[in-house]
Structure 1
C-alpha cells in the first residue's frame, strides 16, 4: 500500500523554498521596507535550515548583492511574487519520501484585489524545480488554506475552499475526499472569514497546531460576522480537543492592537509563523504586552525551540505573514 501523508510544518525539513521577487510597481511605498524585512526573514531562517531562493532573471544580481551566505542558494526561476506558501506546490510524504502536490493555484480566486498572473502557476511552469513527480489535487486551493496537526489532521475553512471563485462545482464532501486521498487522516472544517479580502479566510491566519499538541487560536480583531464565525471556530476546536485524549488544550491568543494600518489588507496574525528546524520565526507588531504574550505562548507550545520575533509591518501590509513566505520540503523518513 502507498503510504501518503500530509506532514505538519514543524516536522524536520531538508530545506525550504522562498522567493526574492518584490515588484516595486505592486508594492508601491512599502516596497523598500518589505524588501528589508524579507531579507531579514530569509537570513534568520537560513541560520536554522537551508533556503533555496527563487529569483527572476532581472533580480539575480540584486539577490547576489545581499550576500546571504552559503545557506541561501539563489535559483533562477519565473517567479513574480514572494508568497511561496501559496504560489508554490505543497509537499507530503509518500513512503517516507517527499512528494509534490499541485493545488491548482488560481491567484486566490482572481479577485479584484489580485488578478492571476503567469508566475502564479509556478507549480506548473517551474515543475521541474520542485520534483520529478507531481500529484494534482482534485480541487483548487493554496498552501495557506491548509494547516496540518498531529497524525496528519488537516484544518481548513469553508469560506476559502467552498468559495465559488475556487471550487464552484465541488461540495465539502468532494474536497474532503480529495484531501484524504492526498494524505489527510482527518479534515477539520472551520467557518473561516468570508469577508477577508484576498484569501477568503485562510486558516493559517488564526489557527496554529503545535509540536506539543496544543492548538493556538487567535481571537477575532473585529466585531460583527467575522467575530461570530471566529467564536464558532474556537468552539469547534475546543470540542475537538475535548474528544481527543492526545490533545493538550486550546490556547487563545489576543490579536495585536494596531494603532496605524498602512493597508486594509494588513495581516496582523501571531499564528502565521514558520518553524524551521529547531526554531520558530514569528512576527511582532510593536504591541509590547501582546507581542510578549504571543512569544510566551509559542515558547510553551514549541518546547526546546528558539523563538525569534521579527518586525514585519511592510510585509504585513501586503496581506501576508512569515508562514506565507515559505514552503518547506519535509525530510525523508528512513524506512
Structure 2
C-alpha cells in the first residue's frame, strides 16, 4: 500500500487557508483544578471568537449538558452562532493539537487525507485517554475523509512545518521511550516523511520548564515562513530555561534547508515566569495559532508581550497579529496552539 507521500499528499503550513479549526471543549478539572476550569473559560471563549471571525470552529463536546452551556455563552461573548459547529462525542481532555487529526492535502489541492496517529497522553501520563485517541476516527467520519493509520504515537504539538518539505521536532519528545520505544531515530524520521509528506526532519534538543509533554516544539521554535523560524530565548542566565534554549539556538544555527540555505532565525525573549500555586507553567509566545483571521498570540501581562507581538507582526503582513491573554489557560500546561488543530482547505473544482 502506498504511503501518503507516495500518493502526493503533504501537511500544509499553518498559514495556508483553513476550512475550519477543530477544538475539544475543556471539561477535565485534572488539567484546571478546582475553580481554575471556570476561571479560564473567558480566555477560552475569547480564543473561539477570534478564530470564528475567519472560519468555522468545530467543537468536540463531551455531552449534551456541556453543549447547552456552550450555546448559552456564545451571545455572552459576542460569538456568531452560525460560525460554530458542536459535535457531541466523548472526550477526555482539551488538547486537540495532540489528539486531533492531521489532515493532508495533495499537490493539486483538490483532495484531502486524514492521518490517524496514535495518542497516549504524552507517554501515558494522564489516563484515561481512550476517547481522545478515537477523535481522528470520528472526525474522518464527520468530514467524509479517507484515513490512514501509521500505527505509532505522534502528537501535533511535537512537530512544526514550513509547508515546503521541512518539519521541526525535538529529541526529548519523539525519542522518548514513553512514546515509541521500538523505533530508532531513523525509523521515526521515515514515518514523518512518509505520513506527513516531508523531505527533511530537523531536530532540536529539548523543551521548556513546566512542559509535561517532554518538550513539544510548539513552545520553543516555530516556522513563520518557508525559511524563517522564531526561536524562544531566555536572556537571564540564572533562569532554568536559559541553557536549553541556548542549546536549541546553537542547533538551529547549524541547520540547513534542502536548498542548502541556513534558517533565518528570529529570537524572541521568553515572557516573565508564570508561577501559579508555586508551579511554573510553560508560558511561551511560540504557542501562537495561525488562523484565517489572524495570528493569535498568548500574552501574560508582562513587559515582554509587546516585543513578541511586534516581532511576529513583521512576518505576518497578510493578517493581524492579535495578543490574547492566556494567564488562566496556561495553568493547564498548554496554550492556544495546544488547544487547536487546523483543517486545511481544499481547492474545489
TM-score strictly above 0.5: yes
The separation in 2 between residues aligned to 1:217 and 1:194, in whole angstroms, is 12
Alignment of 1:147-296 (within 5 A): 147-182=160-195, 183-193=197-207, 198-211=212-225, 213-220=227-234, 227-240=242-255, 249-258=264-273, 260-262=275-277, 264=279, 266-288=281-303, 290-296=304-310
1:11 corresponds to: 16
2:320 pairs with 1:306: yes
1:47 to 42, 53, 70: 53
Gaps of 5+ in 2: 1-5
2:311 corresponds to: 297
2:154 pairs with 1:141: yes
**Contact kept? 1:98, 1:329, Cα under 8 Å:** no
Deviation at 1:262, TM superposition (A): 4.1
Gaps of 5+ in 1: none
Deviation at 1:94, TM superposition (A): 3.1
Change (3 A) 1:259 1:322: closer
The separation in 2 between residues aligned to 1:17 and 1:263, in whole angstroms, is 32
1:73 corresponds to: 85
Change (3 A) 1:32 1:259: same
Aligned length: 332
1:80-111 alpha-carbon deviations (Å, 9 max, x no partner): 32211011121221352222111201111112
1:90-136 alpha-carbon deviations (Å, 9 max, x no partner): 1221352222111201111112xx23422221335625235432112
SS of structure 1 residue aligned to 2:324:
strand
Change (3 A) 1:226 1:296: closer
Deviation at 1:225, TM superposition (A): 7.9
Change (3 A) 1:254 1:197: closer
The separation in 2 between residues aligned to 1:203 and 1:62, in whole angstroms, is 33
Question: Normalising by structure 2, what TM-score?
Answer: 0.87
SS of structure 2 residue aligned to 1:91:
strand
2:100 pairs with 1:85: no
Deviation at 1:242, TM superposition (A): 8.6
The separation in 1 between residues aligned to 2:23 and 2:269, in whole angstroms, is 29
The separation in 1 between residues aligned to 2:148 and 2:300, in whole angstroms, is 38
**Contact kept? 1:192, 1:229, Cα under 8 Å:** yes
2:3 corresponds to: none
SS of structure 1 residue aligned to 2:46:
helix
**Contact kept? 1:144, 1:202, Cα under 8 Å:** yes
